[in-house]
Amino acid sequence: MSAVEFGGGGGIYRRRYARWFPGDNAGVELCSYALSAYQSWDKQIEEWQRPVISSSLPSWYKSAIFNELYFVSDGGTVWLDKLDDNSVAEVHETQLINEYGKFAYLEGHEYRMYNTYDVHFYASFALIMNWPKLQLSLQYDMAHAINSVDPKVISYIMDGKTAPVKEEHCVPHDLGDPEDEPWSNINCYTIHPTADWKDLNPKFVLQVMRDYHITKDKEYLSDMFPVVLSVMDKTLRFDVDDDGMIENGGYADQTYDTWTATGTSAYCGGLWLAANRCTIEMCKILDKSEHIEHYQQLLTRASQAYDEKL
């Protein structure tokens, strides 16, 4: 099963493991390798799990922290070898993608969207803690998607609004549908126009900082920094009363997509405060002092508004 073709007919891709199991007999060779290696794998898995299993954590938590990782491989997942993508420009990114390829998993088998970002915000901890290079690869894909534009206007299901599929400097809801052509045709969610969602942009900023904190990969942080600035600037349009704090619009404009929120909310407001604080920290790490005063003033004003309004 080393070849992958999506519904959009954009071509055939190879799974990453096909590097080591090429040719027409790949299935047999892969199974033979697994049968010869499984005892070693068992030992390594036990060693990996032992610190948690032998700890004083509750039994239900020990079970969940390992067993819930099944979705990383069983969530309609594809791990592909590098694609021929001319948009890949940064040297560090090119090296990462050449080595680790592209990774995508579905929100669910009933929610057929790859790398749905509002909930990847939570699930991404499994990647950054266990397979950090896959998380970084996914983030580079997301950074390219943020800067992309799809001006095609569609009608959204929930309230009949019409809006472009993808606006520039907005974090997309997802990276596409396997029945279409993921990475090329993104934002396949059609219930609400997600350019108006108040939580997607701050979640990108927080993941960038979290990923750097864990990997200490300064080149990654530097590559992401211009995108961070662009999404932070774009998010400021949701500050309708110029107090530094973003406001929800009185409709379902965040991940809880059947719940309406109006004005300053603890959820989106808290993400916005944290994103400002993380942007300041990135400026310090990368010696981008020219941006610090702007975000510090914004954070001070937004914090005051958050406390007073809530």
Could you report the per-residue pLDDT of 213-243, keeping only the tens digit for each?
999 999 999 999 999 999 999 999 999 999 9
**In this predicted structure, what is the pLDDT of residue 307?**
98
* Exposed/middle/buried for residue 273 (C-beta within 10 Å: 0-12, 13-18, 19+): buried
Specify the number of domains making up the chain.
Answer: 1
Does a structural domain hold residue 261? yes
Taking the C-alpha atoms of residue 192 and residue 23, their distance in angstroms, rounded to an integer, is 44
Q: What values do phi and psi take at 121, rounded to 5?
A: -50, -40
Structure tokens, 57:
């954590």
Does a structural domain hold residue 129? yes
- CA-to-CA separations, 299 to 142, 244, 305, 308, 310, in angstroms, rounded: 25, 7, 10, 14, 16
Taking the C-alpha atoms of residue 175 and residue 156, their distance in angstroms, rounded to an integer, is 18
**In this predicted structure, what is the pLDDT of residue 243?**
97
Taking the C-alpha atoms of residue 297 and residue 170, their distance in angstroms, rounded to an integer, is 23
Q: What kind and span of H or E run contains 115?
A: none
Q: Quote the pTM value.
A: 0.95
User: β-strands 248-251, 162-166: how paired?
Assistant: unpaired
Does a structural domain hold residue 123? yes
**In this predicted structure, what is the pLDDT of residue 108?**
92
Does a structural domain hold residue 234? yes
**Backbone CA torsion sign across 67, 73, 74, 76:** positive
Residues of the chain where predicted confidence (pLDDT) is lower than 70? 84-89
Does a structural domain hold residue 62? no
**In this predicted structure, what is the pLDDT of residue 85?**
57
**In this predicted structure, what is the pLDDT of residue 255?**
97
CATH code, domain with 241: 1.50.10.10
* Exposed/middle/buried for residue 226 (C-beta within 10 Å: 0-12, 13-18, 19+): exposed
Does a structural domain hold residue 44? no
**In this predicted structure, what is the pLDDT of residue 84?**
63
**In this predicted structure, what is the pLDDT of residue 284?**
98
Domain extent at residue 261: 69-309
**If you average pLDDT over every residue of the chain, what do you get?**
95
- Name the nearest CA neighbour of 270 among 210, 221, 212, 310: 310
Entry field: residues in the chain: 310
Structure tokens, 244:
């530094």
SS3 content of the chain, % helix, strand, coil (to 5): 55, 10, 35
Does a structural domain hold residue 3? no
Does a structural domain hold residue 25? no
